[in-house]
Structures are given as C-alpha cells and as structure tokens.
Structure 1
Amino acid sequence: MADMGIFRDTVTGWAGGGSPGAAGQLAAEAGVRTVVLVEGPSDLAALEALATRFGRVLHEEGVCVLSMGGAMNVGRYAGLLGPPGLGLRLTGLCDEQERPFYDRALERAGAPGREVFVCVKDLEEEMIRALGVPVVEEIVEAEGELTPWQTFTRQPAQQGRNRQDQVRRFLGTRKGRKIRYGHLLAGALDPGRVPAPLDALFAAL
C-alpha cells in the first residue's frame, strides 16, 4: 500500500506547478477516497491528533487530510483532486472568513455536497474555548513555556484583551508553536466536548 505522506507530497508538488507524477496511482494504492482540505500544518496536526483521540486511523478509512499552505490555494487543489481531476470526494475545514473561497472553489470543481465545516475565528480558538483557558495554561506550563506566556500577557498590546484572545495570539508568536499546540490541544479534548465544526467533520468522514 502506498504511503499517505508520499501521496500528500506528490499532490503538493503538483499543485505548485509540477508534474502530476503518479498522483492517481498513489491515490488508488493508498485507498484514498476522501480529502479534507485545510489551510495549514497546524490544522493538519490538530486533526490527526483528534483522530487518534477518537481511536480512528484516517488513512485506513481512505481519508487524507491535506494542508494547502493557505486558503487561497483551495481552488487549485479542488480542481486537481475533485471531479475535474482525480475524482475524489472533497470536504474541508476553514475559518469563517475563508468560507467564501471554499464554497466557490468546490462549486467550480463540481464537488457533490460541498461539505465545508467552519470555525468562527480559527481552529485554535475553537479548541481553547472548548478546553477553557486554565486547562490551556496547564498545557503551556507542562511545555515549559509558562514564563514566556506570563511575559506575553504583560505586554502593553495585550492589555484589554480577554484571556482567551491572549492565549490564541500567544500560540502564533513563534514559528512552529501553532503546530505543536494544535496537536497538544486536540489531544487534550474530552471526546464529549469536541467543538461543533470538528465533531461534525469527523461524523461526516
């Protein structure tokens, strides 16, 4: 069976203007039936962690979560992977402000159902709200970043912001931090308190 990572890398290169290579063959060998289009690697990390939390093995279910490097690329990916291209089922997880890009892209690609699951601000905000700030702070402390977090909250730019918005902004202040915490926050979610867009997405897969 083909490796899902090789399929992802091949599609990413194809979307970037390269050759399709063996994308179709790799999809068939890996058993890919559904592709979940997400904006970036932190979304991918969170969904993979949440799948593990649910006891689900997405690649065995024929599901590939694909990071596109930005919501503006959704049209390109939808055309390559949907009915005009490989003919795979498409779905997606996005922020509210990105919803129009997804809707237009999936409509142009003729994707049946056009299932898009929407976070209000972003995926991190949904998870922070579900967990509660005290739990997130415990995770930050366990990662050895309590002092940087406390320093961040004392910055003048953070005064007047609520604690939830402060945490969300803190996660984006260093390269790689959103990816790391996306995985950690998703792994800490109680299966009974999963944010609605994530719960709906997994129910649809």
Structure 2
Amino acid sequence: MERFGSAFAAWAAGGRAAAAAADAARELARSVGLRKIVLVEGDSDRAALEALALRLGRDLGSQGVSVVAMGGATSIGRFLGLLGPRGLDAEPAGLCDAAEEVFFRLALERAGLGPHPDRDALERRGFQVCVADLEDELIRALGPDGVEQVLTAQGDLRSFRTFQKQPAQRERPVGRQLRRFLGTTSGRKIHYGRALVEELDLGRVPQPLLRLLNGL
C-alpha cells in the first residue's frame, strides 16, 4: 500500500514520469485490493490518521484503504481527477483544515461528484473538516498540559519554553503557542502527529478523525 501511495502521488504530480506512475498505480491498486483512498493535506495528517487507526485496532492497508498525502489542499482536484471508472475505480474520502474546505467542495463538484453546499454534505461524502487544523484538534483533545507532557517525554519542553519567550508568542494563549511550535522545525509536525495520537485518551478522539475512520 505504501508503494501504491507513492505511485499515485507521482501520477498526480504529472510530468515525464506520470505515465509510468499511472501504470504502476493501477497494477498496485489491483494487487492490494484497493477500495478507498483517503486524501489528506500533508504527511503529518497521514501519520496521525494511521497511528490512530492502529490504536483502534484497524489495519487500513489490509482493509483496502490507502491514506495519501497530497502536499497541500489545492492539489485535491488533480487527485480526484484520477479516480472513477477511467482512472482508479476507488471511492474517495478525506480530511482537510477549515480554511481549505472551499477547495475540497469545488474539486468534488468539478470531478462530477455532485455539489456540496455545506459542511454536513461534505462530511456525508466522507470528507471531514478539522477546526482549525489537525494539530488544533489534537491539542484541544489532550489539553495544553497533556501536550506539554508529550513534549517533556520527547525532550522538547525546554525548546518550547524558549519559544514561548519570543515577543510574537508572549501574548498568545498556550494552545496557539503549541500549535505554532509544532510547525517550526522540519519534520516536527509529522513526528508529533504520531506522538500526540499515541497519548490520546481514546474517549476523547477528535470527531473529524473518528468520523473519518468510522466511514472507511
């Protein structure tokens, strides 16, 4: 399934390698029994979703589900265009930030999947919306103290305390400071997407993630 996701992303990217990537994606889709593709904005979303699935006893790959990071919400149209009878005959689902919701609605309509005039319609289609983003959802679910405990376990609390002293951060609520801190270093969002989910009380799973997994 990992190889399929890479081939699918290369196909969507276009260019010289697209034709070979398309052939590889189609062949891999058949071999893994692909039935659903979950489109997420970035690798941190993918890491969090896959980690949560494992905690809930779900092996998405064995269930024919591939989670694909698109490299940004504005790519949604390209990926949706590769699904359906003339592409990969797999049903789409997805996760997006509130600010990117409009891109997903428009792309679904342009792909011939019908208009989605409001968030409820989008979610019924299988596309869930995080407010404001996945990191914000996880921070609220764990609470600032819970996130700081994770930072302590990962050896990053001292760096966070230094970050809090920056002039631009001093007046911000702790939740916003944490959200910004997670995006300040390359790879940190991916690492903590997984680490925060691993410490999450399963009775407090953010609703967008829970609805998405329940629909797969």
TM-score range, shorter chain: over 0.9
Alignment pair present for 1:126 and 2:110: no
- The amino acid of 1:201's aligned partner reads L
Alignment pair present for 1:188 and 2:190: no
- Equivalent in the alignment of 1:90: 92
- Equivalent in the alignment of 1:158: 169
- The amino acid of 1:120's aligned partner reads V
| 1:204/1:157 CA distance change after superposition, 3 Å | same
| 1:101/1:82 CA distance change after superposition, 3 Å | farther
| 1:82/1:104 CA distance change after superposition, 3 Å | farther
Q: TM-score, normalised by structure 2?
A: 0.90
For 1:36 and 1:114, the matched residues in 2 are separated by 12
2:2 to 5, 10, 14: 5
For 1:14 and 1:174, the matched residues in 2 are separated by 29
For 1:83 and 1:68, the matched residues in 2 are separated by 21
Q: TM-score, normalised by structure 1?
A: 0.95
For 1:63 and 1:94, the matched residues in 2 are separated by 18
Query: What's the offset of the Cα at 1:22?
Result: 2.5
- Equivalent in the alignment of 1:52: 54
**Per-residue displacement from partner, 1:76-135 (whole Å, max 9, x unpaired)?**
000112454212100110001111111111222234763210001110100000000111
For 2:84 and 2:198, the matched residues in 1 are separated by 30
1:141 to 152, 158, 162: 152
Runs of 5+ in structure 2 lacking a partner? 115-123
Kept after mapping to 2: 8 A contact 1:133/1:163: yes
Kept after mapping to 2: 8 A contact 1:35/1:64: yes
For 2:140 and 2:176, the matched residues in 1 are separated by 10
- Helix, strand or coil: the match of 1:118? strand
- Equivalent in the alignment of 1:115: 126
For 1:183 and 1:41, the matched residues in 2 are separated by 10
Kept after mapping to 2: 8 A contact 1:103/1:114: no
- Helix, strand or coil: the match of 1:110? coil
Kept after mapping to 2: 8 A contact 1:83/1:110: no
2:81 to 75, 79, 83: 79
User: What is the aligned residue count?
Assistant: 202
Query: % of aligned pairs identical?
Result: 52
For 2:113 and 2:201, the matched residues in 1 are separated by 32
- Equivalent in the alignment of 1:67: 69
Deviates more, 1:107-116 or 1:47-56: 107-116
Name segments (4+ residues, structure 1) moved above 2 Å.
81-84, 110-115
